[in-house]
Chains A and B, each alone.
Chain A
């Protein structure tokens, strides 16, 4: 199964990953240049500004002289990033001396920006044309509502009130890696999907936008165009109306998708129609680590494992349901309980089909080892590898702690977090060794011979005691070939 990495990457990492041609083309747009500049590490920013008016290559040596000895590592990071983004071109001349040149297009655009000041990508429409624009609260509510609705649809929740217009094929693309579908069963969240839901809105948005961009070529849209449009969008002013007619055809199609995600709100006037960027759109170029957009927490976890979420959101309810048992839903409160069962079902989500089948065969081994009384307990050990889940659940609870308990240290009671971890390690107590089980030996001699043979490889894990009438062996799977050879030799 392709592993989907849910690392919340910066938009700029995506930009950096574009092919050189596209990247150069991207810099033709002055807004991109500005956005890129903003995203740079502080030292890299300084280098760009320092070299803004230098038309000739600068040697690496002279640049190294600018930094103090303890700043070398930062210097390296800055230079690497600049080269990666093709802002710097590195050349090594015959004397093996390295020099750097600033990307000329980038340079020109930035210079223009400095000389003529910031030019808005497009002018907002005059207010006499656009009557009844939404208030900023309304716009915020719209954006979050759309986003929530989208997420609910994404996880195939039954709680959706009105499905968005996002095509089901597009939805399938977004769901790739987040949901897994085993034949005819209802799709289930994968471990990545589980983590995805527990991330904050900004990080989730990044993930979706990234998928949206990487998939653009299939829709016949140039990814560089798309990136430049999205970046451009982030320079618009939240809450202002912009005429849709200023957009290209491709952009017009894109803006419809973005409206479904809650990045912009579309409105239709008597003559014109316009789009209003929401905070989700204008935050796009903001660095991910910026936590100023963090929402107020809403979850209270008590020492008795009960969980109270001050939320009206159906999505929150769905998220809490992933790892707790929701008992009551009130107009602005969700009441649940974290139980061992609810957590185990959360851990289970991270299991792929392959892992489940493999571990089943170990279960039989364990069964032999400990007898039936314990087998049920040990059936659970298939979750042995999961540890990310616990981390995500606990950090979700901590990050979203209600202000009433947020100042409390720790915000989630220690006994609860301890218990969650203990429940998880409880599943990891069994070390797994792939093994084969042999039985039905025709004679005691053969059985004992096989057992000695296996012992010779240090591969015998278990054998029936001598006084038992049954004759069976459990041998490490890696020695199965040897065992098979041995047994077939004996049979002859």
Chain B
């Protein structure tokens, strides 16, 4: 799935056992840089499908399908909307710019298609209808092969009894041949039929199928109730049965469905959407995929940042109306989720509680919503007595919905832990960027469920639902002195610091901040991964900053000031700001340093300013303000950054964004009004960078920002709960040594008169 398949659609029809055994999952940080080098392969592998037969009315049909699984879709076709909905259900989008989309059919995508109720024959016939050419035989075989096993078996929880359900009795027979499964089967007395399967009828798929593309007869067939066969399994054995069905064993992965309406055992939660909560069309669509047959499916919904993922989550919870466990990545976003629940639904205050290191609330009554972080649940060390009690409660409760935010950042390992610790009937994952540099996103398919829906960024921009962002890459030439040092071997560990601290980049950044603050009155976020640079920039420009060591209280304070105060228009953020910190006011991002070639980080950062602002009609295509948000990525020329930058942008470019290259910033006529104008200043800066310890300006220590959820390194952490949740100011050893060494250098840039300091800094220096 994801981007790894781009350009080399999978030829294998079955999952290899290997894929599922990747347990050690971590975001490939700097190791990730070579991954997609071979992705867009060269001339050698170009594919010639000129022999496919064109249909006579091909002009009216919107797509081409190639034998290797690649599909091209014309967006200007009159059938585009229908074709898009269909393709997004059966295939993985590769790139979706304005006129032509590309998709790949993969086993995963077909698994997802089957699980939302599309059948093999429907997929083939609809695809054939849309295709300009006759479908290549290889593709038909591929669809048959991929869908032979997937989506055939469902695990349904009905009235607190687990049933293995399938429309195909022969599949059930195959399953029962397995020892583990046959042992855990409960044979009830009332069962009839030759095989002893319970036969029942389920509702047909509503609204999820591409109904407008099927002719009437087919439509009638789809709507008809379907006969399904089922047998019951022992609730204590469910996990084992599930495991036996995974691709590395019987290869009939089970889809989980939750018949929540008929669940009489778990208490209902009295909550519904407030009338003013009007889901947008694409939110409706994603929900309809989830609740298509009257039951709740487990799976992942992919929506761009700022497109209203939380409303989808809250809507899902209010539809299921059972206890809900909501997992977020950090304490700030826990607060935001709790707020969203109260904003959109009629849930009462005592029914919702936050569980973080700072607030250990419990809900009253027998059903409610708990919002917490992944770390709180997965933490394996010693906890305080109070948290131990809460975690016990979380473990023992049967949750109706497990709502997981930002699923892309959580390592599979942690998922396993969370999922094994909590009992839930339905899991919903939310994310904006289903890409990981390590390409192990596929694990999510089986841990949570298939991707249920993915929105097209460009369509949302056109509809005015998310901001129309002008992206720019600013090329800053390295100054001679910095470049000379950059090239020296002995400075290999300082390369990043040298290109980030490039005076020309600093000046460009300062220029942009001034321009947007003064000329447009914008709110600006400056992102810097390199902590040394973050501190240097923020101090020099006297702007507030937030990084791993900033306490929760201070963060909240700074963000509050940024939102409300007219004097605080720029905030510097380290990696902690990448995900889920909601700063709807910001509309400009300046990125001065970033995490190597991480496409996800780029997209997540862009996501910080995607929330649409202003009036809808102004934002629509052709409206008053064509661009209302700006994303600048500052790169130093001739350095590694250029290379990384191209890689990073790939995801956004595939979503139809374009990066304009800007050279010549700051304007040549700008003089000493921007810092580091004189050579002496520049040289002083250079000395500072060079004299700082390698570990202070290098990269390593930054990977352990308390908030970065890549907490596979949890063992290195202290035992404090608050530190685990990223709530309090945790200073790492590596970091503090670096800071001491920097000490002298920093003194210089410190403003002499404390009264002149920004009020947000006063606290820090006071």
Which residues of A are in contact with B by a Cβ distance under 8 Å?
Answer: 300, 302-306, 308, 312, 325-333, 335, 337, 339, 370-371, 373-374, 377, 402, 404-405, 413-416, 418-419, 422
Are A304 and B656 in touch, CB under 8 angstroms?
A: yes
Are B661 and A330 in touch, CB under 8 angstroms?
A: no
Most chain B C-beta atoms within 10 Å of own C-beta, residue among A306, A308, A325: A306
Known A-B contacts A337-B40, A374-B487; the reply to A330 vs B99 at CB < 8 A is no
Are A330 and B133 in touch, CB under 8 angstroms?
A: yes
B215 at the interface (CB under 8 A from A): no
Are B660 and A326 in touch, CB under 8 angstroms?
A: no
Are A328 and B99 in touch, CB under 8 angstroms?
A: no
Nearest CB on A from B422, distance (A): 40
Known A-B contacts A332-B58, A373-B487; the reply to A327 vs B47 at CB < 8 A is yes
**B64-86 vs A: 1/0 string, CB under 8 Å?**
10100010100010000000000
Q: Which residue of B has the minimal Cβ distance to A321?
A: B43
Are A303 and B97 in touch, CB under 8 angstroms?
A: yes
Known A-B contacts A303-B98, A404-B99, A415-B658; the reply to A325 vs B42 at CB < 8 A is yes
Cross-chain pairs A/B with CB under 8 angstroms, 15 sampled: A302-B97, A302-B99, A302-B100, A302-B656, A304-B656, A306-B97, A328-B46, A328-B70, A329-B47, A330-B72, A331-B51, A415-B658, A415-B659, A416-B658, A422-B663
Residues of A within 8 A of B213 (CB): none
Q: Which residue of A has the minimal Cβ distance to B95?
A: A304
Which A-B residue pairs are the 10 nearest by beta carbons?
A303-B658, A302-B97, A415-B658, A304-B653, A329-B48, A331-B54, A330-B64, A300-B99, A308-B100, A329-B50
Are B64 and A414 in touch, CB under 8 angstroms?
A: no
Q: Which residue of A has the minimal Cβ distance to B472?
A: A415
Are B76 and A418 in touch, CB under 8 angstroms?
A: no
Nearest CB on A from B35, distance (A): 18
Nearest CB on A from B284, distance (A): 29
Beyond known contacts A326-B46, A333-B64, A415-B660: 13 more, CB 8 A cutoff: A302-B95, A302-B98, A303-B97, A304-B97, A306-B102, A308-B100, A329-B50, A370-B487, A402-B99, A404-B76, A404-B99, A413-B658, A414-B658
Are A331 and B53 in touch, CB under 8 angstroms?
A: yes
Residues of A within 8 A of B95 (CB): 302, 304, 306
Nearest CB on A from B134, distance (A): 10
Q: Which residue of B has the minimal Cβ distance to A314?
A: B50
Known A-B contacts A306-B97, A404-B99; the reply to A328 vs B487 at CB < 8 A is no
B537 at the interface (CB under 8 A from A): no
Known A-B contacts A326-B43, A370-B487; the reply to A331 vs B52 at CB < 8 A is yes
B7 at the interface (CB under 8 A from A): yes
**B124-153 vs A: 1/0 string, CB under 8 Å?**
000000001100000000000000000000
Which residues of B are in contact with A by a Cβ distance under 8 Å?
Answer: 7, 40, 42-43, 46-54, 58, 64, 66, 70, 72, 76, 95, 97-100, 102, 132-133, 487, 638, 653-654, 656-661, 663
Known A-B contacts A328-B47, A335-B72, A405-B99; the reply to A415 vs B661 at CB < 8 A is yes
Give the docked Cα–Cα distance between A405 and B52 (Å): 26
Residues of B within 8 A of A416 (CB): 658
Nearest CB on A from B657, distance (A): 7
Give the docked Cα–Cα distance between A419 and B133 (Å): 35
Known A-B contacts A304-B656, A371-B487, A419-B661; the reply to A330 vs B97 at CB < 8 A is no
Are B52 and A330 in touch, CB under 8 angstroms?
A: yes
Residues of B within 8 A of A419 (CB): 661
Nearest CB on B from A368, distance (A): 13
Nearest CB on A from B9, distance (A): 11
Known A-B contacts A303-B656, A330-B49, A331-B54; the reply to A422 vs B661 at CB < 8 A is yes
Are B40 and A308 in touch, CB under 8 angstroms?
A: no
Residues of B within 8 A of A306 (CB): 95, 97, 100, 102
Nearest CB on A from B458, distance (A): 10
Q: Which residue of A has the minimal Cβ distance to B52?
A: A331
Are B76 and A331 in touch, CB under 8 angstroms?
A: no
Are B42 and A331 in touch, CB under 8 angstroms?
A: no
Give the docked Cα–Cα distance between A333 and B73 (Å): 12
Are B54 and A303 in touch, CB under 8 angstroms?
A: no
Residues of A within 8 A of B46 (CB): 325-329
Give the docked Cα–Cα distance between A338 and B7 (Å): 15
Q: Which residue of A has the minimal Cβ distance to B65?
A: A330
Give the docked Cα–Cα distance between A85 and B526 (Å): 69
Give the docked Cα–Cα distance between A275 and B456 (Å): 56
Give the docked Cα–Cα distance between A422 and B66 (Å): 34
Give the docked Cα–Cα distance between A328 and B58 (Å): 18
Residues of A within 8 A of B64 (CB): 330, 333
Residues of A within 8 A of B654 (CB): 304
Residues of B within 8 A of A377 (CB): 638
Residues of A within 8 A of B43 (CB): 325-326
Nearest CB on A from B762, distance (A): 44
Give the docked Cα–Cα distance between A335 and B97 (Å): 14
Are A331 and B99 in touch, CB under 8 angstroms?
A: no
Nearest CB on A from B102, distance (A): 8
Give the docked Cα–Cα distance between A422 and B635 (Å): 15
Are A300 and B660 in touch, CB under 8 angstroms?
A: no
Give the docked Cα–Cα distance between A422 and B656 (Å): 21
